[in-house]
Structure formats: structure tokens, C-alpha cells
Structure 1
Amino acid sequence: MAVNEVLGNDDYSEVCLNPEFNKLLLKLKPHLTEDGTSITVQRDLRDVEERFRQEKGTWLQQHVLLSNLKDLLLESQMRGSKIATPSSSAQFYETVQNMLTHAEIGDYIHCDPETGGERTLFGLSNDDLRLKKPFEQHSKSIQQRLIPELESRLRKRCEALVGFYDSVTDAESAKLTFARTSELPTNLEQDLQKLKLDEREIKKEQSIQETQYSEYYQNLLRSLSLLESLVKNRRLKSQVESDEVSTLWLTTRCDALCLKIKIFELQILCDTYHEGTVQALRKIRGEIDRAIHSTEYDLKQVDQTLAAYEAVGSGFDNLVQEYTRLKDEIDNKKWALRELKQHSLEETSNE
């Protein structure tokens, strides 16, 4: 395989700029796989995976046999609990149970919590268990009866699995059900591979859909932004024209209201201040003017008196008290004078 086929045209054009790197890739090519893994490592990995698959298959076979044997013993115990007198079958299954228990003891005698410890349960060892086999003489006879029963159970379960996987419709196909059990692992493996391929395709489709969704979403946002800007510009232009018309209308209405208020004010003045009222107000103004002149004359006299007291000094209490009284009187007269002047100005403006 050429370097450009491995890297692609774009990457290969960049590699061509460095010939030494190109030579290095060509030297590494016989020692690496297409995904960059060492060929030796990949071969060792395949060997390990194959050994692991074999060991796993062996363990699964033993596990299936043990599970079926335990189920068989459990069913026999349930049947035996309903029968008062134990039969030969019950005794047979009891013997099988004891043999199974004796075989499982070896998994529990090593109870030392330390790694590599030699302490065992009751000091027993695997050699002790192998020497003491109370059911050794019955093993052959038990196997002759037990193995067919286990095979029958496994056969029924295999037929049930095949029936579940591929339902049988006619009697001729039912006879071949057990024969098809040997094809069941291959069929399941093919289905599993197909499911994985479908899963990858689904993930690929999901990735494409997510990318398309993101693109559609961005396009939608841009479209909304453009639409919003167009609406704002159009609305602003229309708003300016509407504001101008509204402003002109409000200005005209305000002017009209101001004229109405002025007319109403003049009408109230005309109704309030007729000829007789004006003459009376003029007389009142004359009286107020005379009172203003009199108050101003009194204020001038008080100021002169106050100035005389201030010139005397602060040694006399009576003079001080008189000074205080006169000053209060001056303040009162000033207030009265202001009130009279303000009232006179109001009367003048009304005329």
C-alpha cells in the first residue's frame, strides 16, 4: 500500500515536503497494521483472545453442566419432600448430592487471608480429599445413569432455545431441531455481528442527524436574526412617520386647548369684575395706599427711635426691653406692609 493511500491526498501532499519522514513511514509500514498497531502485538493479542475464548468456552460448558446438575438435584429434593418413604431414585440423587458436596469442598478449604498462605480449613489438604472418596466405588454406576439424564435435560433446553430463536411449524422440522442446535452459536454470532453493524450504522445516522440538526438550528437562528432586523428597520421607518403625525396632531390639540383655557379665563374675569366691582376695588385700593403711606411713616418713626436707643448703649435694662418691643413692632409692620403691597399689586393686575 502506498503512502498516499494510507494518509490520503491532503496529508500526502504535506508529507512530500519532508522526504525523510516519507522514508520513515515506508520502513514502518511492514511492521504496523492499518490502524497503527504493531503486527507482533496484534498477533499476540489474537493468540491471547483465542486462548481466552477457549478457556471461556470450557468454563461455560462446566458451568452449564453444574447448573443443570444442581437443578436436577433440587427437583429431586422437591419431589422427595412429598413422598414419605424414600425411593431408590431419592437415594441415588442423595448420593449424587454428597459426591457434589465432597467435590466442592476443595474450593473452600483454603481460608488463609494472606496471599500465598498455607493455612487451610481444619488442616485439610487436597491430597486428603483425594484419598478419602467414600463414593469412589459407585462412580461408574452413577455416571451411567446421571449422564443420560443430563444429556436429556440439555437436549430439551437446546431444543427450547432453537424453538425460541427459530419457531418450528411442522413435525418434520421439529425432528431436526436438535440438529440445528449446533448451528445456533454461529447463527447467534452472525446476528450479533449484524446487530453491531446496525448499531454502528444507527450511531452514524445519529451523528449525521445531529450535524444536520446543528446546521439547521444555526440556519434557523440566522434567519430569525435577519427577519428580526428587517422587522425592526421596517417598524422604525413606519414609527418615525407615525410619530410625526402624532406630534402634529398633539401640538394642534394642545394649541386649541390653550386657546379654550384663555377664553374661559377671560370669560370668568368679565363675569367677576363688572363696572361696579371695578369702582369698589379702586376705592379699596385708595384706602390701602393711604394705609401703606401711614405704615411707612410709622415705620420711619420707629426706625429713628430705635436708632436713638441703639446710640445710647446696652447698659439699661429698660432700654433693652423697649428696644426688643420696638423691634418686634417693626417686624410686624414690615409684614403688614408686605401684605398690603402684595394685595395692591393683585388689585392692579386685576384692573
Structure 2
Amino acid sequence: MTMSAGSESTVLSSLGKGDGLHQQVLASFPLCDISEDDLTQNPQFCKLLATLSQHVDQTGLTVPLKTELDKAEQKLLNQRSHWLRSESLYKGLQEMIQDHCIRKHHVTVPPDQNMFYETMEKCLLVSQCIRRLDPSSNTNQDQPSVLGLTSQQVMELMPPEKNVKRMKQGLPLELEKHLKKKCLSLLTYYQPEWENESEGLKTIKLSHLRAQLDKEKKRAQSVKETCRENTVLLQRQMQLYLSELIKCIQLLQTLVLDHRLRIQTDLDRKKLDYFEGKLELVSQKIKTEMVEIQLDTYTTDSVSAHRKIREMLVSELKACQVEKQSIELKLASFKILGKEFETLAEEYCRLRQEIEMKNWALKEFTQYSTK
């Protein structure tokens, strides 16, 4: 408690340092989406984060929980290593059996070697079946039997004891050869230019392969950590850039709002002058086109002919007007006589029509009778 109080007092005493404390808080919580401006505007929140950084790590875990997590990860790593060791040995034995099955189809295999691999294959099958029948010795639950078989019945399928003993004696040497072959293949894959070198030199380089792989793994982790730090730094710089960009946009909006009316007035006046000039130009062009059409339509001969026609029509118009006036005078005199004269006029028109019809019939009759 005394140490915690002392660390908190140290942190609180450094609150006046400003930028240094802000950078410390940002470095302690790289996964938080906060900026230095946020810490400046909220000093109490900055104080809380600075105090909290003494009790949690960068991932947000407390110190006791981090310790328990490290122990659990180490235990899991040990168990995983033990399982990988057993699994690698089992896969290696299976690969040896597969290689033998492929090899005996291409070359003649000695009988003792064939017996060795057959014995090893049977032992693996029996052990695998026993594991299936009893998957765990730590469970107290009753496991259902498979096909009614027991472990003792499966053990009866084991090869003869002498063959098993001979196989166990030669197994370490054969397994070492196989693993060495795989290691050399891995070395060749890691450095293809070493493929044509001697086996002794490959063995020496193989002894240094683990150190080289560990070195490259550490370098990859360092590069990964650097990339993570660069990513965090890039995110912060992106936030700063966006904030500055927003300020620039706001400044530009202010400039536009302040100067838009004056600029718009000048622009409208210039547009008005432009459209007035364009309208005048279009009007002059229309007048020019109309004159050209008239010149193309009315030649000298057509103008003189139209003039004569006009004089003739004017003279006829005057004559018609004089005749119209005389007829109007007669009609006026007829209207003075009243309705009786209108009846006589209608009777006169009817008699004229009958006379015309009879004259036409007489003419037609005379014409047919002459023929």
C-alpha cells in the first residue's frame, strides 16, 4: 500500500509536466482511441488514466491477472510441447512405415528389415486400438465398449515377443536416421544452396539451425512489434491530420461565407454584361439574316413586277370602292321605300329566275329539235 501510494503521488506530482504526462498516458494505453487534445481538455480523465496505468498493462489486464495468465500460458506451453513431442514421434513412426511400403514396391527389401517394419506397424495398430478402447485413464466414467472388445483381447494380436524385442532394439537407430533425414530436408528447404554440400557439413550447420531460426523468429517478432507501434503512431497522426483538416475546412467555409456576396455580385454583373453583348450580337445576326433572305427573295425584276401588280390592284380597289359607294346609295334609296318595295323586289327576283329557267329550257328544246 505504501509503494502504491508513493507511485500514485509520483504520478500526481508529474501532472504539471503537460506533454510528458500525455505521452506517457498515450503510451500506456495504445489501444484506446484517444488523442492528446482529449487529455488536454479533460485533465481529471488524464489523471485517472495516469493512476490506472500503474495497475494495468497495455492490454488492460491487472498485474495479478497478468501473472496468472502468464502461468497458465506457460503450463499450456509445457503440455503442448509434451503433446507435440509424442505426436511428432508417432507421425515419424507412421512416415517410416509409409516409406517402407513405398520402397518395397520398387526395390527388394531384406527379410529382417521387412519383419522389423511389419512388427512396428502391428504394435502401432494395437496401441492405437487400446487407446480407442480406453481414451483416458483419469476419467472414472464407464466408457462404452467398441464391438464388445477389451484391451486384453486386443493385446493378444501383438506380434511374438522376440520380434517385438528385436524391433525395440533397432528402433532408436532407425528413428534417428529418419529424423536426421527429415532435419536435413528441412535444412535444404531453409537454405537450398546447401543441398550439394557434404553430409558432415550439413550436420554441422544443422546444429546451428535452431539458433538461426530463433534469431529470425525474434527478428520477426521485433518487426511485428515495430509494425504495431507504427500502426498506433499512424492512427494518432491520422487523427491529428483529420482534426487539422477539419479546422482548415471550417476556415475555408468562413472565407466563402464572408466573401460570397461580393464575389457573387461581381460575377453576376459580368455575366449580365456578357449576356447583353451576346443578345446584341444575336439580334444583329438575325437582322443580317433577314436582309439576306429579302435580297435572295426579291430581285430587281420581281420588285418591278410586284410594283405593277400593286398599281393595278390599287386602281381596281379604287374602282370597287366607287362602285360600292354607288350601290350603297341605291340601297339606301331602296330602304326609304319600305316593306312594300321589298316585296316587289322579291317578286321581281322570282320572275327573273323563272324567265331564266324558261329561256334555258327553250334553248335546250330548240337545240334538240334542230338535231
Deviation at 1:69, TM superposition (A): 1.4
Q: Is the 8 A contact 2:93 2:175 kept in 1?
A: yes
For 2:79 and 2:334, the matched residues in 1 are separated by: 135
* Alignment of 1:66 onto 2:113: no
Q: Which residue of 2 aligns with 1:179?
A: 207
The alignment partner of 2:206 has SS state of helix
Q: Which residue of 2 aligns with 1:331?
A: none
1:49-60 correspondence to structure 2 within 5 Å: 49-60=73-84
Q: Which residue of 1 aligns with 2:316?
A: 280
1:194-273 correspondence to structure 2 within 5 Å: 194-197=222-225, 199-200=227-228, 203=231, 238-252=270-284, 270-273=307-310
CA deviations 1:78-120 (Å, max 9, x no partner) are 2223468972211221111111111111343379xxxx66321
Q: 1:233 to 1:71 in 2, by over 3 A?
A: farther
The alignment partner of 1:122 has SS state of coil
User: What is the RMSD computed on CA atoms of the aligned residues?
Assistant: 5.2
Deviation at 1:124, TM superposition (A): 2.7
For 1:94 and 1:138, the matched residues in 2 are separated by: 10
Deviation at 1:267, TM superposition (A): 7.7
Q: 1:75 to 1:217 in 2, by over 3 A?
A: farther
Deviation at 1:14, TM superposition (A): 4.7
For 1:296 and 1:86, the matched residues in 2 are separated by: 156
AA at the equivalent of 1:48: A
Deviation at 1:288, TM superposition (A): 3.6
Where does structure 2 lack aligned partners over 5 or more consecutive residues? 1-6, 16-20, 27-35, 136-140, 341-371
Q: How many equivalent pairs are there?
A: 289
AA at the equivalent of 1:39: V
1:159 pairs with 161, 164, 184, which one?
184
2:119 pairs with 85, 95, 101, which one?
95
Q: Percent identity?
A: 15
Q: 1:257 to 1:60 in 2, by over 3 A?
A: closer
Q: Which residue of 2 aligns with 1:45?
A: 69
Q: Is the 8 A contact 1:73 1:93 kept in 2?
A: yes
CA deviations 1:204-245 (Å, max 9, x no partner) are 68758977997999989x99xx9xx9x999976654333232
Q: 1:49 to 1:127 in 2, by over 3 A?
A: farther
* Alignment of 1:80 onto 2:117: no
AA at the equivalent of 1:240: L
Deviation at 1:197, TM superposition (A): 3.0
CA deviations 1:292-327 (Å, max 9, x no partner) are 66778999999x79xxxxxxxxxxxxxxxxxxxxxx
Q: 1:41 to 1:161 in 2, by over 3 A?
A: same
